[in-house]
Every structure is written in structure tokens, then in C-alpha cells.
Structure 1
Amino acid sequence: MHARYTCVLAGLCVLALATPAQARRVIGYFTQWGIYGRNFQVKDIEADGAAGHLTHINYAFGNVRNNRCEVGVTQYANPDTGEGGDAYADYTKAFSAKESVDGLADHWDQPLRGNWNQLKKLKARHPDLKVLISLGGWTWSRGFSQAARPENRKAFVASCIDAYIRGNLPVTDYAGGAGAALTVFDGIDIDWEYPAACGLSCGTSEDRENFTALLAEFRRQLDAVRPGLLLTAAVGAGIDKIRVTDPGQYAPYLDYINLMTYDFHGAWERQTNHHSPLFGSPGDPSVGDQRRYNSRDAVQAILERGVPASKLNLGIGFYGRGWTGVHNTNRGLYQVGGPAPGTWESGIEDYKVLRGRVAGSYIDAQARAHWKYDGVTFWSYDDPALVSEKMQYVKAQGLGGAFFWEFSGDYHGELLRAIGDGLR
């Protein structure tokens, strides 16, 4: 690598490290539940031509329960307790030939079926592609705080490595057993939402030190299995999430960090705003920490705490946040409204749906954020042009790459291609 000056985004000039295109990461989240109503299968990653742009896939999610990685459970997720799991989707569902990556149907008694076998087949076609299991997420993070405590963390980490790296799965529905999932996963992604802060549940002040120690323990045990296994983390991009942890201390244990630079604003707030702005805007009426709810400030906050730029990946949402009943002032921006109807949940909608909505399309020149407004309903989301602009920012800052949540929100790989092409 060599240093160079790059000027992008209306004359912003920064000293960046010229990173070879092939070294930049493109990471996509594949959701366990996406194979049902959303009808997005692992095969679709291949069919859309997405696999050629990817370096890593994160499988979301593995549950953290009772101080262990809980595997083999089939139970509806309960956000109030953290219970839940879908072993059927993970490794017991028999995919037909039509549904399969390689056109071969699963046998009913294969030790490994389900999404994990399909990911294994996808890797066989793309030998450089890495797959990680993501632990936690919004619904299943409440178990981390206890599992990370000194008396629990060693056994907790060992349980995760036994299941996901050594592949030892509970036997259920004629699947699983010793080594059944061996070679599916190339590492572990920690998606604790959020240490020492609040997600669905709130952490404690002890989480700050325990988060770093947990990552150190994962690093130690992974290296003991074999060198080269990946350890990564997805971290909140709000300054209120960043300042209560120690990025400079935990980063050495990680191969890279996925900075979740989206969901800065949404319909849980009464006022419309940008879901994933690249920069702050002087017109934003937000106060306090929310004034720094934008990608640039999040990146800077991490870098200032000692994290190398090359370890940092920028997050892209393949969905939008929306309000309705919005007064027709300022093209709907910074106006009062309520959650807009969405296909799966109020206030949120996939890019593949929003791209076809008939409405005025606007760009905030300062924030570098996109929205649509039809006089009543306001949707904030990234379109391909803005994704491409963000990739220029990634390169200009010398960041390691980008990641996205999640595959099923895209339209035939349109946003993913914007990421992949933009990082070349």
C-alpha cells in the first residue's frame, strides 16, 4: 500500500491509503428467517450474481442463552426473554433440487441440511468466500452481559467454538452430530447490541471491561483451534454506544469491525430525519449526542480511539425508514409524522419496494442523504447513486470496506453491485 491524496464529495480531500481493490471487504448479512415470507434463499445469492462481489457472508443469528451458544432449538423468538431459535432453517430443512445452489436435492437423513449446507455449497463454488456466524443481534443479545462475566466467559466461548467451528451440533430431526457443520463457518462475528448501553435490554457498566475481555477470550480460543479463523464485531455507530466501550483496546483482537452506520433515525421518533446520512447537516434540529448521528462522525469517533482505518467497514442498509401524515413543508424533511405502513413492520420497508414508489426524490446536499416524499409519506433510504458515493468515501478514508443488512432487501443485486463496483 502507498499513501495518496483523494478528493471526493464536493472537494473533500483526505490522505488515504491506496488499498488494492481485491483487499477491500464486501460483507453481506444473510438472515436465518429470510427463507420464509421473504423467500430469499442462499441460491439467490448465486442467481443474482451477488457472490462474485462478496468477500464474506454473515449468517444472522446465533442465540446467546444461559451462558452458552444455544444451537439446535426450534422455537419462536421471544424478544422479551431472548428465547428462540430455528434449527430447521439452520441445518435440518431438506432443500429440493430446484432450491439448491448446485441443483442437487438434500437427502432426508443428511447430517447437514438447511441454510448451512447451502452456504457450504456456495463456498465450494467460490473458494475465497468466507462465512461467519453472527451471534446476538437485536433480539438475541440480552444473554451477552452475563456470558461475558469472568466466571462465565471461558466456557461460553468454548461452547460457541464447539458448535460453529468444530461443527458439533445437537442431533434433531435426523440431522446434526459430531462434526456435522465442520468447515461451514470460517469465524465468529459478535453482534452484541449493546455493551454498557441499551438495545432491547440494557447492559451494565461492567460490560465495558467484559466486552474487551470477551473478545480477547474468543481470539485466544480461535487461535488455539487454528490460525486464520476470523473474529469480528458489529458495533453501534452512535457516539453514545461508542464512548462507553474501548475500541482502541478491543480492536487488536478483531480482524475487522462492522460499524452500523444506519438506523440513526426512524419512526420511533416523531420527526422525520435521515436514516443513514453520510455527514451531519446544519439544518438538523437534533440535539445532544444525536447531532453526531451520521457516518462521518461515527467513523471519526472510532478512529480517534485508536482503531486502524483498514479494520473498519462502513454499513449500508438495504431498506428505508418512513413516516406518514407528514406536513408538506421542506419537502417533508424534519416534519412531524407517524410510522409509515411497511410490508413486514411499520416504519420500515425494503429497498426493492421503495425504488418503485412514485414520489419526489431528493438529496440533502449537506448530509448526503436521499429521501422520497409524496406530500404525505416520507421514506429515507440509500439508492445506488448514494451507495456509490459512500463507497468513494470508504476509499478516500482508507477504510477496509463495506457491509450491508441484508440480502433480501435488494432488487436483483442492484445495491450490492453499487457497493462492489464502487470499491473497485
Structure 2
Amino acid sequence: MDGIDPGLYKSIGNVKARNPSLKIVIALGGWTFSDPGPWQKVFPTLASTKENRAIFIQNLIGFLSEYGYDGVDWEYPGADDRGGSEGDGENYTALLSELRDAINASGKNYIVTFTAPSSYWYLRHFDLKGMEAQVDWINLMSYDLHGVWDSSNPIGNQVLSHTNLTEIGHALDLFWRVGVEPSSVVLGLGFYGRSFELESASCWKPGCAFKGPGSPGKCSNTAGILSYSEIMEILDNTGATAYHDEADASKYLVYAENSWISFDDVTTFQAKIDYANNIGLAGIMIWAIDLDTGKLDALKAISSGTKIGGTNARFSMVDLDRLFPADMLPSDEDQMSYGLVNLGAEANAGEIDPDKTGFGFMLITGDSYAVASMKKRHDNPHPLVFLDCPDKPNEQDGEKPQKARVACFSDDIKGCFQLMERGVEGTIIEMPDNSIPVGFSNRDVTSDVFTLTFDFDLTLARRDTSNTMIRVDYSNIRGYWNAAVDSPGIEGGVSKRFHAPTAAQWREMFTNKVGTEMFVDAFEIKEEVSEPLFWDSADSCLVGGKEYDQGLAAHVGGTLDARFYYGYSMVAKLGDRELEVTQASGFLSVRGSTDLTFTVGGVGEVRLEKTNKGNPAMTNGKTTRHRETSVDAGDGGTNIDLSPYYTINYSVGAFNDTDGGSASPSGPYFDGKLSTRIISDFGDFNAYFPTTKEDKLRVKDEDRLKNRISIPDDNVLHGTAGNGGRISMGAFIKFGMKIKFWFLQRGPGRVFEMDLPEMTVNYGTMTEFTFIPGGDATSCTDYDIAYSSPFTLFELD
């Protein structure tokens, strides 16, 4: 289909191995499928006759069975401008009806849905009421209401929100007019924004004119659209605040000088969800999950689902004495919460063994009387059951006490009343998703009925416990789980690790148990580098009666080709608004090279003071994050965000001397073009943390290939004034891991955040051009190439 490797369908089906309850539905058709080309006539042809429909349905059911999928969704805009044919609407309904009959005859229970547009122009080709009867639900594309295509429509070229809630309501009116039930419609939410290039930067409100699509994002790389992740990065980097259009439940923002984008965030997502709930829609759907941040911020904004693990879930993956030293080992009575996220290509193909994938893991264990759960989980005692519940309790004043009646319906009375251990007052309770019980009437009450008084004021949480232990592990290499997590610990010593008393034992463990053949799921970086470091120009001047332009430029260009690997483990104790890290170790490893060409050219005096950045002057490069991972312990209040990243900074310096001695404040005069190309290898070694004195002194050039240097034949100096000078240029690349831990604090405020120890490894490549006056009006040039050995940083405040 459409050039896709058939193996992809199998890989997607294998994901169900990670969660057998997952439903996978294959989506057919779509906008691109209806573009002019070989696929445009597929639907009109296969749906045109009963015979053709029967062949398609037989093949479809066979496909679902072979790959283990759970259903099918069809998106088909049938308008004339999308290759539609007369009779498509009627044939569409017949196709769905015959598909439903075939599914029923097969004894299967496959899901059947269709995705509907929100525009009357396309909806008029749908027999909505007839199709509703044949499907499980209808997915409404309540996004892309506006875009650059409006310029050729009656609306014209004015910037408008593509997720405008007012217009979504108008679109749904088209469904209600033909009798479609709200309970048959699922509301679509977009994890992206639509952008425009403003005709005038001074006119930026909805209704202002646009002249084309907005600037593309670095990852989505498509003009007119930015992913949710890219929008959040713009907000983070600029400190900007998006404008909130409350009436239309939309946000918009001006970026890149004159680009305008509309999008949804946590506030407007919630407004749309509230709207869907109020009118009785069936649910929500997302386009598309891969546009979210690595920490799944957009998904968290619309969902409160519990992840694998969860409060008081029984943890049996690893013996606890392999995770904690003896003095921190949890007791059998301690509460446990954990989260595990598999990462990488193998995980995407369905692998769930964390030793065969990258992974993020967090386990929290502590006194059971400090935190209690009233959610029912498999193999755990049945909690107390709510007999009634206040109206919308989470919308009430958080500090105002609320009351509900609860009782036990289980024979395990002790398990029911676990929250009363050492007294219920001040205990943090994980509330059920729905406090109204379902189907408990067939069971007998096994306790008295009690009144539970609760509120959402965490400042009243009990303070008689600080016995909360945390274990965190994160890596993108295979084998790290068995090496660092499911591995016997070593007791003793002060500088503990995994747990091991010395950094040397950590390194020995890694060297012996994890080989480079397991480095298979890298953070891959392939970046084209083109950075102007300095530019200075002046008006043309007369020389010998002729006009000449005067200007200078310095530039770095080339490529960065790197594969970044990492591993991190931590053991900590959580106190009252503080995190005591008792053990923390890890490694970073970078393979690959840079291929950079440093060039300076022009004529004039190099005066870097104009940059106001010193001499040498340094750029302030933006951080590029990759594969951010958020691990939730499942307790509803503890989360860790792990963010591998890299940054590139550049320097340029200009000195009015040739030997590094004292120089005059003025810059050197330069007339010519000098360039050098340097290919630098990152080496073949691991940087371990915490660093030792030997690490800081060790020169790692023996672990890397020597620099390959070339000087072009067209380098030229037209003359050197005074005593000559030096121009230095450099590129500095930092690879690192940022780690942020947050939890619901037991004190004033709601959330406590802490940045954990950051690991970094730094590389630098530098060149210096020295130009010296020679005899007979000639000039000489020296090239000094330097490569700074990688150095590491691991700081624990």
C-alpha cells in the first residue's frame, strides 16, 4: 500500500504483545490517497459493484486476521476535486453494510469506523445517517478547519484558528440535522498547529491577511505546520506567552518574526473535552501521537489514565535487594509504585523484555500508611467502595472538606481498610477514576458503612514518615537491564552505585556485562552545519579612483554525524520537600565524527567589540533534545523526565599580534581568504560518572582517530598590515542528559520539582590562522589546528 514496507504491518501488530488489551485499527484512504495519481480511483472502483466490494471485504478480513488487527477505519473525501465519482456516497454506505454483514458471519467482532470531515463541501457526499447504523463510531476531523488553502476559497487569505470550537459546533450541527446521535461521534484533537506567514507583522490577530504558509519546524520540516513538540520548544526558548481566545477555545502565537500559528494546549484541550462531555459525544481521538513531546505533555493534558504498574502493584520483575542497599531495603508492608517504558526499534516492534530494548524505569516504595489507594488492581486487596459521591468533587474548592459513604464488599477486611493504618487523618489517597460503583449489588457488604471526609489540600498531608525510597534507571542500549538493574548489588563504601561501593566496580560491571555489540539503538544525529560567526560591512570606498566594497565574514560549515548512547541509575530517599540522592552513576558514549570547514574572508579591520560578546566571541546555541522520556511511577504524583540532548556553540577571536603576547585594543587588518577543513573523530570510549581525578587528567587521543586536515589551494592573502595578527575559530559540541524529578510535595504548594545531577561530555575543534608580513610585500600564513580532548562533567549539588 502506498509504498509502505509490508513488514511494517507485522511490526505494528506485534506491539500488542506489550499490551494485549490494545486495539489496533488499520486506517485506509485519506487525503493523500485521493491526490491525482495511481491511487485516486481505488475507492470508486472497489466500491462501484457488489462483486468488487465482496473481493475487497474478503481481502480486508483476511488482512485483519493475519496481522492480528482489531478493525478498520476509512477516510474518504468524495468531492469532485478529490477524484470522487457520482454514486460514491451510495456505494460507501453499501460497502459498510456488506462489511458489517461479513464480519458478523465470520464470528469476529471487528471494529468498523469512518473518519468524517467537518466541512459541508465534503460532508454533502456522505450518507451520514445510513452509514452511522453500520459502524461503531464516527471519527470527526475537528481540526484543519483553516489553512493556506483558504486563499482560493471565499474565506480568503485571513489567518484563522484551525481548531476553532465555535466552528466545530457549527460542523456538528450538520450531523444533528440528519439525525446522527451524539453518542456516535468521537471528537478529533490535533497535536499540531497550522501556520501562516503574515502579510504584515503589525497585523497578527485572527482575520489579518496572510501571504503563504508559516516557517517550517526543524523536525516536521513542512511549511504551514508545526508539531506540538515544536510549538512547546518555541515557547520554552523564547519565553513567549500564547494568546488565549477563550470564546473559540484556541491559542495562537507569532514566531520567527512574522509567522502565525494556532494550536491547542492543556487549557483549550480541556475546553474541548468539556464541550464533548456536555453534549454527550462518545469520546476523543488524536491526530497524531507522534507529534507530541517526548514527555507526552499533550497526551497527559487530555488523559489521566493509569500506566502499567501503579500504587501498591506487586513488583516481581527484580528482587528488591538488587535495587536497594540493605539500609534502604523496603519491608514487606511497604507501599510500592512503579513505571516501566520500553524504548527503541525493538520496543516498537513489540518487544517487552527491557533487557532487549532501551527503557526508562522508576520504582517508589515507602510506608503504606503515608499513601493509600482506593483503585482496584489485579492481585491487590479490594479497596473500600464508594456508595455515593459529591457532585463533581474535583471541581470544588480544593481546601473544602467533602464527604462520601464507603463500605467494604470484600472478605479481606484488613485489605479494605488499609488506608486506616496508623490513622486515616493526613493520608494521601489515590481516588478511583469513577467513584460511582458498578455492579456491586450482587455482593454482600462485609463491614459497617462509614463516612469518608476528604479534600484536595496536600498541605495537610501527614508528616510522620520520610521512609520513601526511589530507584531510577534509564538507557538506550540493550543489556543495561540485566547489567545494572537485575544484577546483585555490592554492599559497603561511601560512593555507592547500583548498588556498588565504588565507581571502579560500576565500570567493571559495565565493561564485563555490556559490550559494544549492544550499542544498537542510538540517538542518531545527522546535522548540516552552516553558521555565520561574524559579518561586518562598510560603505564602498574610493581606492585609486575606483569604488571597492569593504567587508569581512567568518563562517563554519559542514556536517555532524554522531551516535549517542547513555545509561543512568539512581537510588534516592524522598523526604519532606527534598530528595537525598545516595547513589547515582551513569555513562555517556558518542561515536562518529564532525567534518567542518572554517573560513574567514574579506578585507578590513576585524573589530569583535561590535558583537558585545567579548573576544573571543561565543554563540549561544539552542539545545536540541531527542527522545525525551517521561516515566510515571503510577502513584499519580511522582514523575521523572529524562532528556538526552546536544548543543553546538561556536567561537571567533581576532588578535592584533602573532605570538599570543599583549596586543593593542584594535583588531587586526585582514585582506584575503583563509580556510581549512578538519575531520575530527569522537573516539571509541565511554565517559563514566561520577568522574574521577584520573578521568579529568586522562588524554583520550589514544582512543580516537587523528584529525584529518586539508587546506584548499585557493587560500590567499593580499597583504598584511602592521605586525600581522591572528584569527581563531572553534566549534564546541556538548552531549548531555538532563533529568528532572517532580512529585506532589508535603507542604505549601502542590508540586515540588528538582533538577537531578546532569551528565555531559564535551568536544571541541579549533583552528587559528596567523598572518605575518613578509619581505617584498608578501605575506605568510600559519595554520594551528587543535582538538580539545573530551572532558566530562557530573555535578551533584
Interval containing the TM-score (normalised by the shorter chain): 0.5 to 0.7
Q: Is the 8 A contact 1:265 1:273 kept in 2?
A: yes
Amino acid aligned to 2:73: D
1:329 deviation in Å? 4.9
Amino acid aligned to 1:188: V
Question: C-alpha distance in 2, partners of 1:258/1:328?
Answer: 37
1:129 is the counterpart of 2:22: yes
> Which of 144, 165, 172 matches 2:43?
144
Q: Which has the higher contact order (CA 8 A, sep 6+)?
A: 1
Question: C-alpha distance in 1, partners of 2:184/2:299?
Answer: 21
1:328 deviation in Å? 4.0
The alignment partner of 2:216 has SS state of: coil
The alignment partner of 1:204 has SS state of: coil
1:384 deviation in Å? 1.6
Amino acid aligned to 1:414: D
Give 1:172-251 correspondences, 5 Å limit. Answer: 181=67, 183=68, 185-192=69-76, 194-198=77-81, 201-251=82-132
Question: C-alpha distance in 2, partners of 1:128/1:300?
Answer: 34
The alignment partner of 2:133 has SS state of: helix
Q: Is the 8 A contact 2:198 2:204 kept in 1?
A: no
Residue in 2 aligned with 1:284? none
Question: C-alpha distance in 1, partners of 2:229/2:200?
Answer: 26
Give 1:12-411 correspondences, 5 Å limit. Answer: 63=1, 84-87=2-5, 90-91=6-7, 114=8, 116-120=10-14, 122-141=15-34, 142=40, 143-150=42-49, 151-162=51-62, 164-167=63-66, 181=67, 183=68, 185-192=69-76, 194-198=77-81, 201-269=82-150, 270-279=157-166, 294-329=167-202, 331-337=204-210, 338-343=212-217, 344-357=221-234, 358=238, 359-374=240-255, 376-411=258-293
1:419 is the counterpart of 2:314: no
Q: Is the 8 A contact 1:370 1:381 kept in 2?
A: yes
Question: C-alpha distance in 1, partners of 2:118/2:267?
Answer: 22
Q: Is the 8 A contact 1:242 1:302 kept in 2?
A: no
Q: Is the 8 A contact 1:196 1:206 kept in 2?
A: no
1:118 deviation in Å? 4.6
1:368 deviation in Å? 1.9
Question: C-alpha distance in 2, partners of 1:275/1:398?
Answer: 23
Q: Is the 8 A contact 1:196 1:207 kept in 2?
A: no
Question: C-alpha distance in 2, partners of 1:351/1:391?
Answer: 18
Amino acid aligned to 1:336: A
1:330 deviation in Å? 5.5
1:405 deviation in Å? 0.9
1:85 deviation in Å? 2.0
Question: C-alpha distance in 2, partners of 1:304/1:323?
Answer: 33
Question: C-alpha distance in 2, partners of 1:118/1:328?
Answer: 45
Amino acid aligned to 1:187: G
**Identity of matched residues, %:** 30
1:264 deviation in Å? 0.7
Q: How many aligned positions are there? A: 284
Q: Is the 8 A contact 1:319 1:351 kept in 2?
A: yes
1:235 deviation in Å? 1.0
The alignment partner of 1:133 has SS state of: strand
Question: C-alpha distance in 1, partners of 2:101/2:122?
Answer: 26
Residue in 1 aligned with 2:386? none
1:126 deviation in Å? 2.4
Instruction: Write out per-residue CA displacement over residues 263-289 of structure 1, whole angstroms, 9 at most, x where no aligned residue.
Output: 11012333211111111xxxxxxxxxx
Instruction: Write out per-residue CA displacement over residues 273-315 of structure 1, whole angstroms, 9 at most, x where no aligned residue.
Output: 1111111xxxxxxxxxxxxxx2111222113222221121001
The alignment partner of 1:231 has SS state of: strand
- In 2 relative to 1, CA 300–325 (structure 1 residues): closer, same or farther, beyond 3 Å? closer
The alignment partner of 2:229 has SS state of: helix
Question: C-alpha distance in 1, partners of 2:200/2:245?
Answer: 18
Question: C-alpha distance in 1, partners of 2:113/2:297?
Answer: 26
Question: C-alpha distance in 2, partners of 1:346/1:268?
Answer: 13
The alignment partner of 1:268 has SS state of: helix
Residue in 2 aligned with 1:100? none
- In 2 relative to 1, CA 261–166 (structure 1 residues): closer, same or farther, beyond 3 Å? same
The alignment partner of 2:99 has SS state of: helix
1:161 deviation in Å? 1.8
Which has the higher Rg, Structure 1 or Structure 2?
2
1:242 deviation in Å? 1.8
Question: C-alpha distance in 2, partners of 1:401/1:255?
Answer: 12
Unpaired runs of at least 5, structure 2: 35-39, 151-156, 306-432, 435-797
TM-score normalized with structure 1 length? 0.63
- In 2 relative to 1, CA 197–126 (structure 1 residues): closer, same or farther, beyond 3 Å? farther
Question: C-alpha distance in 1, partners of 2:25/2:300?
Answer: 21
Question: C-alpha distance in 1, partners of 2:10/2:170?
Answer: 37
1:166 deviation in Å? 2.6
Q: Is the 8 A contact 2:113 2:137 kept in 1?
A: yes
Q: Is the 8 A contact 1:246 1:305 kept in 2?
A: no
Q: Is the 8 A contact 1:231 1:254 kept in 2?
A: yes
Over aligned residues, Cα RMSD in angstroms?
2.1
Unpaired runs of at least 5, structure 1: 1-62, 64-83, 92-113, 168-180, 280-293
Q: Is the 8 A contact 1:268 1:339 kept in 2?
A: no
